[in-house]
Structure 1
Amino acid sequence: MNKLLLLLGFDASKHSVKIEVLAGLTTFLTMSYILAVNPQIMGETGMDKGALFSATVLSAAVATLVMAFYAKMPFALAPGMGINAFFAYTLVLTMGYTWQEALAAVFFEGVVFILLTFFRVREAIVNAIPLNLRYSISVGIGLFIAYIGMKNGGLIVSSAATVTTLGAWTNASVLAFAGIVLGAILMSQNVRGALFYTILIITAVGVPLGVTQLPENFSIVSLPSSIAPIALQLDFSRFISLDFNYYVVVFALLFMDLLDTLGTLIGTSTSAGMADPKTGHIHGLSKALMADAIGTTAGALCGTSTVTTYVESSAGVAEGGRTGLTSFSVAILFLVALFFSPVFLVIPSAATTSALVLVGALMMKTITKIDFSDFSEVAPCFILIITMPFTASISDGIVLGLLSFVAIKICTFRYKEVSPVMYVLAIFFILKYII
């Protein structure tokens, strides 16, 4: 036991086993909604939902174990919200790629991320993007996934006159709205696992209302579903055919993963006092990024979208988690959940609406960091933010945001504020639209 604790960076003179384990439980409860939401979203592509549940669990467990033993940090990982929507609704359902081709893009992105982390060049890519645009990406993704959540829950529907309009008040849409309100109440009261509890409550209420459909011979516990239908199903044909749009997709995935992970690690570590107060340096940051990259690569092989570090890890850190024992506890809980797939797979879209909408609300908080005193910065941020939900495309939002930023700076004779890397990216994106 002592050897295990040492491998996890645990120091008995500084840390408590009880606190670390409870911190892990808190993190798991806070982020466990992904076990219900990810199969729902990814399943829209035609992928087997049972296999997706197992792939979600396995990819989260593997990545979090790497974080525990290699980085020895209290952060948990799983397929990322927003990025999974990008995979399903943009890559597959909008752009027309098969889910096998999309998995290949995720795998390639993970390999590139491993190389970037190993050679320590990821900071150069991130630093080339203006700070205000980085903040706006989180806001845009938040609006996008909230839009998807409300649409899946029937709160809004397609309309020829107004694109979308308020949906009819059915049992499903009423439950979806009730879930948003209930989740918000629980979160406002700082209830740990508020989203998870909300999903369970709405699912249970949905049974007598006919919204939650229980299959015949339903049982709470079952053997894990095989990942064979989706594992190792990567299709690399788009790389061979040199599809330009496909490479843009890989860049978009890499960029989102970089920002999500860096933002979570830096923000959480700083708030928890884990960063150097003078330099801001976070010990083990490179190892944490490597865990994220390995998780993404392993996740693609299992059959799921990009794995990223979860901002919900801050809940466990707030409870006192400081070592790999916290993340180790989360990984074990994920593996235990593998045997309860029937419970998660009967959860209806109406129940997961609350998670999508409220996580979207959480992602909006970075809008307060955008500098609204300079309109040459505000306009590109606004273009980026509104493009994502209106086009149902995260990559288009990023591209138009970056292009508008460069164009406005050049036309206002402030071209020196644009980094050389940004000019290269602008040319790259212009060629994308021309070709």
Structure 2
Amino acid sequence: MNTFLSWLGFDAQKHSVKVEMMAGLTTFLTMSYILAVNPIILSETGMDKGAVFSATVIAAMVATLVMAFYAKMPFALASGMGLNAFFAYTLVLVMGFSWQEALAAVFIEGIFFILLTIFKVREAIVSSIPMNLRYSISVGIGLFIAFIGLKNGGIIVVNESTATGLGPWTTNSILAACGILLGAILLVMKVRGALFYTILIMTVIGIPFGITKIPENFSILSLPASLGPVAFKMDFSRFLSLDIDYYIVIVTLLFMDLFDTIGTLIGTSTAAGMVDKKTGKVQNLSKSLMADAVGTTVGAICGTSIVTTYLESTTGIAAGGRTGLTAFTVAVLFFLSLFFSPIFLMIPSAATTSALFLVGVMMLRQIIYIDFIDFSESMPCFATILMIPFTASISEGIILGMLSYVIVKMCTGRHRELTAMMYILATFFILKYIAPLF
């Protein structure tokens, strides 16, 4: 048993099996919505919904196991929200690619990611991000996931003018608000597993109000759907025919996945204190990035969109998860979900609002480390913090923050504070924004 735990980076002197497993359960519960959402989104392209469910589970399980045993970190991975919408609504429904061609683009992007990770290009990019910006990424992500939680719980709504406002007080939003208060009280009382217990309690309370829906002919067990309709269905014809538009799609996917993953790893690791205080390096960064790259490649083979490190991993880290045992627990729960999907899919979004909101509060702590006296540091950091939730994109927030950082430093004679990698990245960022103009 001790040998097995050591493979996961677990040290009995420092860690607790109960805490790590509870952290894994908390992470899984807060991200399990992807099991319901991803099949719905990808089925819009004509993909078989049941097969996509199985593909989503298997890809998440494999990627998270790589994270557990290879990187030995507490992060969980699955098909990314936003990335799956880009796959379905932009690539297929708007640009006209078949879902088979879109899967091929995801697979190729995953291979590129593996190569970039092997040659430590991704690690070099992370190392080039100044510490103040890293703290701001963590704060921005905290605001973003709190926003997601409030929106999912119906506490805030997006109006027709795209502005946000306070939503109507319904049983759903009241349950979500009560969950936030209960979770806060349990955290103040230092109850271990506070986030998990809050999710569980809110799920049960939601039953008599019809928020937690128990379907007719409810069965605890269900047999997993076959992968046959979507697995190994990649179509590489566009890539082989040197289609420029297709290549642009691959590069776009590369950028989106790259900075979503980097932002999540930096934000969650910084918030959890899993960085070297002297160098600012994230623990086992290269191996964590490899788990992400392998997940994307395996996901395309199985028949699902880009697999990425999940923001909801912060809930498990907040619950005390620090080793691969947390990730391993998530992977096991993903496997069980193949057979117990009716139970996991019962958890309403209102029940997970508390976990997302309260983790956002925890991640806000990093703001005290940002240098707000030096305006050349504070302005780009503020831009990053705001643009992550306002654009609903971690990658856009990082790009705009880093670009403003480089421009301000260059225009004020402080170019020596910039690394060569930052100049290279700034050039790519500018090309990204001006390319659509031509």
The alignment's TM-score, normalised by the length of structure 2, stands at: 0.78
After superposition, the Cα gap between the structure-2 partners of 1:33 and 1:64, relative to the gap in structure 1 and judged at 3 Å, is same
Residue matched to 1:196: 196
> C-alpha displacement at 1:70, in angstroms?
4.0
For the residue of structure 2 that corresponds to 1:32, the secondary structure is: helix
1:31 to 9, 22, 27: 27
Deviates further, 182-191 or 230-239 = 230-239
Residue matched to 1:118: 118
Is 2:153–2:353's contact at 8 Å kept on the other side of the alignment?
yes
For the residue of structure 1 that corresponds to 2:213, the secondary structure is: coil
Measure, in 1, the Cα distance between the counterparts of 2:229 and 2:215: 21
Is 2:74–2:325's contact at 8 Å kept on the other side of the alignment?
no
2:244 to 227, 242, 245: 242
Are residue 260 (structure 1) and residue 264 (structure 2) matched? Answer: yes
CA deviation string 1:51-88 (max 9, x = no partner): 565445433432343345445x36353228xxx33324
Measure, in 2, the Cα distance between the counterparts of 1:405 and 1:281: 20
Q: What amino acid maps onto 2:244 in structure 1?
A: L
Is 1:7–1:69's contact at 8 Å kept on the other side of the alignment?
no
> C-alpha displacement at 1:125, in angstroms?
1.5
> C-alpha displacement at 1:278, in angstroms?
8.6
For the residue of structure 2 that corresponds to 1:33, the secondary structure is: helix
After superposition, the Cα gap between the structure-2 partners of 1:429 and 1:99, relative to the gap in structure 1 and judged at 3 Å, is farther
Residue identity over aligned pairs, in percent, reads 52
Q: What amino acid maps onto 2:261 in structure 1?
A: D
CA deviation string 1:112-168 (max 9, x = no partner): 332233223333211222222222223223322322332232212233568121111
Residue matched to 1:77: 76
Is 1:36–1:352's contact at 8 Å kept on the other side of the alignment?
no
Deviates further, 407-416 or 149-158 = 149-158
Residue matched to 1:367: 367
After superposition, the Cα gap between the structure-2 partners of 1:78 and 1:193, relative to the gap in structure 1 and judged at 3 Å, is farther
CA deviation string 1:3-48 (max 9, x = no partner): x73983799xx759xx764354223222122453323553562547
Deviates further, 86-95 or 23-32 = 86-95
Residue matched to 1:387: 387
For the residue of structure 1 that corresponds to 2:207, the secondary structure is: helix
Deviates further, 141-150 or 97-106 = 97-106
Measure, in 2, the Cα distance between the counterparts of 1:419 and 1:270: 24
Is 1:55–1:304's contact at 8 Å kept on the other side of the alignment?
no
Root-mean-square deviation (Å): 3.9
Q: What amino acid maps onto 2:251 in structure 1?
A: Y
Q: What amino acid maps onto 2:336 in structure 1?
A: V
Residue matched to 1:420: 420
> C-alpha displacement at 1:379, in angstroms?
0.7
Measure, in 1, the Cα distance between the counterparts of 2:305 and 2:186: 30
Q: How does 1:160-175 map to 2 (within 5 A)?
A: 163-175=163-175
How many residues are treated as equivalent by the alignment? 419
Is 1:144–1:388's contact at 8 Å kept on the other side of the alignment?
yes
For the residue of structure 2 that corresponds to 1:79, the secondary structure is: strand
After superposition, the Cα gap between the structure-2 partners of 1:380 and 1:249, relative to the gap in structure 1 and judged at 3 Å, is farther
> C-alpha displacement at 1:383, in angstroms?
1.4
Structure 1: gaps spanning 5 or more residues? none
Residue matched to 1:343: 343
Q: How does 1:276-355 map to 2 (within 5 A)?
A: 286-302=286-302, 303-308=304-309, 310-311=313-314, 314=317, 328=328, 330-355=330-355
Deviates further, 22-31 or 100-109 = 100-109
> C-alpha displacement at 1:411, in angstroms?
1.8
After superposition, the Cα gap between the structure-2 partners of 1:200 and 1:22, relative to the gap in structure 1 and judged at 3 Å, is closer
Residue matched to 1:357: 357
Measure, in 2, the Cα distance between the counterparts of 1:227 and 1:187: 41
CA deviation string 1:366-403 (max 9, x = no partner): 32332212111111111122122223333332232222
Measure, in 2, the Cα distance between the counterparts of 1:149 and 1:315: 16
